[in-house]
Structure 1
Amino acid sequence: MYTIQTNPSGTRSMEISETHLETIDKYALFQGLIDSNGIVDESVLDKLKLNVRSLIASMEENSKDLLDLCIDVIYHNNMKAFGLHQLILLYINWKRDKETE
């Protein structure tokens, strides 16, 4: 289990599980998400939400993993642009560590 900070002052945080990171990886949710300027703002979070909603709507099989990710992380009350940036950084480090194992 990992913990990310969801606001700059550090008063809010969120728990991220290994399963959440695997789901992000499985569906490549961060691929092509950020524009060339590299800035993660509320529009990037909105884009992620729309992408996930579209993915769930188009799936014919069970999408419980995506629904859990939505409930626990993406649509969580504390998730804002700062939190998404922290989640992306966590994912990058998690992926790098996984590849070196």
Structure 2
Amino acid sequence: MYTIQANPSGTRSLEISEENLATIEKYGLFRHLIDSNGIVDESVLDKLRLNIRSLIASQEEDSKDLLDLCIDVIYHNNMKAFGLQQLIKLYLEWFSKQEPVEEE
């Protein structure tokens, strides 16, 4: 379990699980999310929320992992642009530590 800071003053935080990070990786939720300017603002958070909504709507099988991510993180009351920026940093750090899977 990881904890990220959700606002600049540090008074709010979010708990992020390994499963949440694995779901982000599974669906490639951060790919092509941020514009070339590299700024994470509320419009980027809105774009992520719309992308996830679209994924859930188009899923034919169970999408419990996406729903859990939404409830626990993306639609959490404390999630704002600053929190998303911290989540992206955590994800990149987590992803770099994953062992590469060898393809056969």
The alignment status of 1:57 with 2:57, answered yes or no, reads yes
Q: Which amino acid aligns with 1:35?
A: D
**Higher percent of residues as helix:** 1
* CA RMSD of superposed structures (Å): 0.8
C-alpha separation between the residues in 1 aligned to 2:87 and 2:54?
Answer: 21
Q: Which amino acid aligns with 1:57?
A: A
**Number of residues paired by the alignment?**
100
Unaligned runs of 5+ in 1: none
TM-score of the pair, normalised by structure 1: 0.97
Q: Please report how far the alpha carbon of residue 99 of structure 1 lies from its aligned counterpart in structure 2 after TM superposition.
A: 3.6
C-alpha separation between the residues in 1 aligned to 2:85 and 2:99?
Answer: 21
Match in the other structure for 2:78: 78
The alignment status of 1:93 with 2:96, answered yes or no, reads no
Match in the other structure for 2:46: 46
Runs of 4 or more above 2 Å deviation:
none
> Greater Rg, structure 1 or structure 2?
2
Q: Percent identity?
A: 78
